Amino acid sequence: MALTSAQLNELERMMKKRRDALEAELHADAAKSREDVFSQMAGEVADSADEAEADLISDVENAELSRDLEELRVLEAALARVRDGSYGTCVDCGGEIDLERLRAEPAAIRCIDCQRIHEKTFPEPPRPKL
Ligand SMILES: [Zn+2]
């Protein structure tokens, strides 16, 4: 069953809300990074232990940042599919993606069967545990 326009609107709203939240978060992060740079330029002298800690924190922040950016990219791509009418169609088999799956993961590009095959074929690298 194809998505009704009400269902499509609902999913689009969910994705836009999430995108706006991500964008706000990214802007806040960018503002914070600038503050960090300014406080460093203000001539604080950190000892080497503090510097190592600061490096570690910025690595974690960068990992979060790239995850957010990736999610934003995926959401933008899904919203573009809503506009061109291909949203809700599996990119692998061309079948319809279940509404339940889209509600759980609005930016999904594959039906559940193709996603399972995809994950078996291209397993994600293990994420480092913190
Ligand atoms: Zn499929």
- Tokens representing 96? 């319809």
Residue-averaged pLDDT of the chain: 87
CA–centroid distance, residue 101 to ligand 1 (Å):
12
Per-residue pLDDT, 114:
97
Cα dihedral across residues 114, 117, 112, 119: positive or negative: negative
CA–centroid distance, residue 76 to ligand 1 (Å):
21
CA–centroid distance, residue 83 to ligand 1 (Å):
21
Each residue's pLDDT tens digit, 1-24: 589 999 999 999 999 999 999 999
What is the pTM for the complete model shown?
0.73
Percentage of the residues of the chain whose pLDDT score is greater than 70: 87
Specify the residue for token string 């994950």: 119
* Statement: residue 46 has pLDDT above 60: no
Residue by residue, DSSP assigns 82-100 as HHHT-TTB-TTT--BPPHH
**d(C-alpha 93, C-alpha 113), whole Å:** 9
* Statement: residue 107 has pLDDT above 80: yes
